[in-house]
Chains A and B, each alone.
Chain A
Amino acid sequence: MENARTFEKVCAILNEYNHNYYQLIPILEAVQEEYRYLPEEVMAFIAISLGISPANVFGVASFYSHFTFTPKGKYVIKVCDGTACHVKKSADIIKAMEEQLELQTGQRTTGDMLFTIETVSCLGACGLAPAIVINDEIVYGLLTPEKAVKLIKDIQAKEVPGSNEPGEH
């Protein structure tokens, strides 16, 4: 498995930051980069390595909404639900994507760990409302539910060959 949890990476990260407690936030960021979330055991490991309590690490990590404690999918889709997008019916986009991904109420990540859907307050792209951003890289604006579903289908086709028809062009 590509992301088999290995402590090698954590050890390397800790070494890179010299096991310095004052570098806890960059360490957590690097770890999250690696695992796409902060696994409990890794946080405990970091605590032991830095000589602080696990509650202390959790306190710092849970302070920032940037850190997450549940595994996220390979594609993290942030749907803007700021004022402009909200008026332009971002709710419909979310609903359409949830249906396409067969997400149950409250479920944010697909069972195959491919997708996570999050809502954010504003992407700063109000002129493109409604907008989403995938993996903090590409912003897709002026969306319709159909376009959003197509984006997902395209990714599914790429990631799971044969299991999904590519969307219509």
Chain B
Amino acid sequence: MSKRKMLMVDHIPVPIGDERNLLEVIRKANIELPTFCYHSEMSIYGACRLCLVEIEGRGLQPACSTLPEEGLVISTNTQQIRAMRRMILELMLANHQGDCPTCVKGGDCQLQQLAHRMGVAKIRFSRVKERLRIDASSPAIIHDPNKCILCGDCVRTCNEIQGVGAIDFAYSGSEFAVAPCFGKNMAQGECVACGQCSLVCPTGALYARPSINEVWAALHDPAKTVVAQIDPAVRIALGEDFNLAAGTIATGQIVSALRRMGFDFVYDTAFAADLMTIELGEEFLERLEKGERLPIITSCCPAWVTFAEQHYPEYLDNLSTCRSPHQMLGALVKNKVTPAKGVKPEDIVVVSIMPCIAKKGEVLRPEFSTGYGRDVDYVLTTLGLSLMIKEAGLNFNQLGQDSFDMPFGFITGAGVIHGNSGGVTEAVARYVSEKVSEKRSDYYVYSNMRNGAELREIKVTLGKNKLNLAVASGLGSVKKLIKKMKKGQAHYDFIEVKACPGGCINGGGQPPGKEKNIKAKRSAGLYDNDKMLQLHKSRENPYIADLYERFLEKPGSQIARKLLHTHYQSKKRVYFDMNNLARQESKQAKLELSICFGTSCLVKGAQGIYSGINQYLNENKSLDKVQINTTFCYEKCSRGPVIRIGEEVIEACTLEIALEEIGRQLK
């Protein structure tokens, strides 16, 4: 037996395993070193300095950015360290806006907790920073810089895990801050509202825009019929806020709580997920048959849809046209299937209870107002619902079980697992396999779709089709996947995308998980829920069959297209006027030429063409004959680079084609 490498932590020998830093070794020894800026899945930043430990012979060192070495003698609790930790916390608290009782994070704030834990009794320093404006421009996320302690967790999540980079550190010295680009606000920048930043924010500097007051107002308005719908991922996470273990299925209590609070009807979004499974499955089969617009990419995640619209307009045709399930249900309730006789659609208020922050922005999209007002009026996050239950004084753990209202309360397991990354793929596979084989089967567990990796490829044979599927969660993984596709290194038929790592179970609106392996536990909760249900396949849902028979005719029918499907717009990063960006005025110009410098064209080589044309004109001494403009997007991203020469619009242009055309037109 080889001798294990050891080091000493507070006089106790601790073996060194494959930990990447001292901090993890020390935590393994059951010492909870305080940190703000350390997250095991992100890069090491070393900014908060709270994990300082004393290493014999080296003095104070940050444990997070020190490698574990054999023989180190470490102290984690000395007079000097205690004084240092308090000082750091006092300095943070000095400029922190300490309105704890009214802060959204009050009671659940890491700064508050650590200040208590480290015995900070008094703050010796006074505030030097001026109060900054709260950025409430985004419909989904509010940024309050006065609460920020500059730990950078949000910046690294947004950059490293999500690959979005909507926020970063900006300015310097006392003005150092987390901010969107160019001093813009959250709504103008590139935020897709996934809310992962709010999950890691230790304080109340980034949080979901609350809708609690609006929902209470609707509940207290006797003229309104208030309808709630609950996303699958809410039922296995809400309990965490009431001391239940992660993954505990609390559906019955949640329905019970909603009724007690005054919701008139309570529906299950998993029903709409069943519906979406069928619509998506049919759409997939149709595209497979025609061999067009493949891979089909799921569209149930609004943060992903926004991301695609901003960064990958060339793939918008590949997106499924299915609305996200809660939007399907909202449209049905507002347009077709009013909850009870005599209820007028204009008096209905639909409240979606979601693990998601992006859905707060999604409901405002104009295409989701098909009937009376918005199809979904308000979105409450899981945390929002938890706060309402607490405000109402309901003793959640003592609440009895209650069941959903029909018809939108009957679900199959396929609808429930939608909350997991890979769940949509599995639900669709269950549907498609029976559809193509035209045989009923009792088989329903596709375990190869369930491993927890954020990027995975699955090969399946459904009927005569050998299919390549991909599942990606976390937008950073999605970027990797698309890069691979663009390079031609991978071909898929079906791609499931969820913006949050692990899927909706880890959505930005969920309680910030305190247990270890929280994603796996929540995910297992949903798969357990599937097992406990009698039906596992969306097509077996009798209420869905009935819905098609009575209203929707068949998947993809005209009425289904109106209520269950949607469309997308390219929203490239146009937050400034790029039109006259590069106008080279030329009075003798005979020919006007516009080159698209949109992201897509740029990536496809517009820049090289631009330089090439300039060089050509220069060499031919005809610079003054041509006026070159650069423009921002011809909305033809999939066929870029796009160049307009005179009246001629050339798609998929190369330098040779452009020069030939210029030569021809200049003659």
Listed in ascending order, the chain A residues whose CB lies under 8 Å from chain B are 1, 4-8, 11-12, 14-15, 40-41, 43-45, 47-49, 52-59, 62-65, 69
Contact = CB atoms under 8 A, between A and B. Distances in A.
B630 A7 contact: yes
Contacts of A45: 597
Given A53-B181, A58-B168, 13 more contacts: A4-B582, A6-B584, A7-B607, A8-B610, A11-B607, A14-B607, A41-B578, A43-B181, A48-B573, A54-B573, A55-B165, A58-B179, A62-B171
A6 B171 contact: no
A59 B167 CA distance: 9
Contacts of A8: 582, 610-611, 614
A69 to B, nearest CB: 8
A64 B630 CA distance: 30
B190 A53 contact: yes
Contact of B165 (A15, A44, A52): A52
B582 A57 contact: no
A55 B179 contact: yes
B576 A48 contact: no
Contact of B181 (A7, A15, A58, A64): A58
Contact of B170 (A40, A47, A55, A65): A55
30 contacts: A1-B585, A4-B582, A4-B585, A5-B582, A6-B584, A7-B582, A7-B607, A7-B630, A8-B611, A8-B614, A11-B610, A14-B607, A44-B181, A48-B599, A48-B603, A55-B179, A55-B181, A55-B190, A56-B159, A56-B168, A57-B181, A58-B170, A58-B181, A58-B183, A59-B168, A59-B170, A62-B170, A63-B172, A64-B172, A69-B182
Contacts of A54: 165, 181-182, 189-190, 573
B311 to A, nearest CB: 10
Contact of A53 (B164, B585, B630): B164
Nearest to B628: A6
Contacts of A12: 611
Given A41-B576, A53-B190, A54-B182, A7 B597 contact: yes
Contact of A49 (B164, B583, B602): B602
A40 B182 contact: yes
Given A41-B578, A41-B581, A59 B630 contact: no
A5 B169 CA distance: 28
Contacts of B189: 54-55
B567 to A, nearest CB: 26
B276 to A, nearest CB: 32
A35 to B, nearest CB: 12
Nearest to B172: A63
A55 B168 contact: yes
A53 B159 contact: yes
Contacts of B179: 55, 58
A52 B599 CA distance: 12
Contacts of A56: 159, 165, 168
B168 A48 contact: no
Closest 8 CB pairs of A and B: A53-B165, A55-B168, A54-B181, A55-B181, A59-B168, A58-B181, A63-B172, A62-B170
A49 B190 contact: no
Nearest to B191: A55
B166 interface: yes
A65 B573 CA distance: 27
